[in-house]
Amino acid sequence: MFMGEYHHTIDNKGRLTIPAKIRYELGSNFVVTRGLDNCLFVYPNDEWMKVINKYKELPNTKDARKFMRFFLSGATTSDFDKQGRVNISIPLISYASLEKDCVIIGVNDHLEIWSKENWTKFIEDNEEDLSDIADKLFSGDLNA
């Protein structure tokens, strides 16, 4: 399970260091793709295959096709260099507005990579609603 928040910088060649304990959980090969809310999703191969299998079950509707195009067209198989960095493609850097300061967060079965600016804005925009959201999602049983 991925969790935690880590702050790192992306260099001008698109390389981002992933913390060592996350690298171990992620494995040597993984998939980076466009996520939602202008961040990137990073999946270990086994979790990526679960996502793909769910997509195979989707009906051939206009919305399903649109989402699959968005999600899968940006997907790239990646690995780490000797310094524990992942090389992120220019289209993905552009999509997530990654410049220098990045935030890597663990979200259960995947990682998300955010620009520091977008992550700060997300927290600020949603902080007041999180208690209500938790109540709705967990029916008030979050602390049980």
Domain tally for the chain?
1
In a domain, 23, yes or no: yes
**In-domain check, residue 96:** yes
Give the DSSP letter of residue 40: E
Token readout for 21 is 């304990």
Q: Is 144 part of any domain?
A: no
| Each residue's pLDDT tens digit, 41-74 | 999 999 999 999 999 999 999 999 999 999 999 9
Its pTM stands at 0.91
Beta strand ranges found along the chain (DSSP E) = 5-9, 15-17, 30-34, 40-44, 76-78, 85-87, 101-107, 110-115
At 2 the pLDDT is 95
Asked if residue 125 is part of any domain, the answer here is yes
41 closest CA partner among 28, 49, 56, 31: 31
75: in domain: yes
Whether 41 is in a domain gets the answer yes
Q: How confident is the model at residue 127 (pLDDT cuts 50, 70, 90)?
A: confident
Q: What's the CA gap between 49 and 138, in Å, rounded? A: 28
pLDDT tens, residue by residue, 18-43: 999 899 999 989 999 999 999 999 99
pLDDT of 140 strictly over 60: no
CA distances (Å), origin 141, targets 64, 91, 127: 33, 41, 19
CATH number of domain containing 86: 3.40.1550.20
Any domain includes 84: yes
Residue 34 contacts residue 70 (beta carbons within 8 Å):
yes
Q: Is residue 43 part of a domain?
A: yes
For residue 46, the enclosing domain spans 5-138
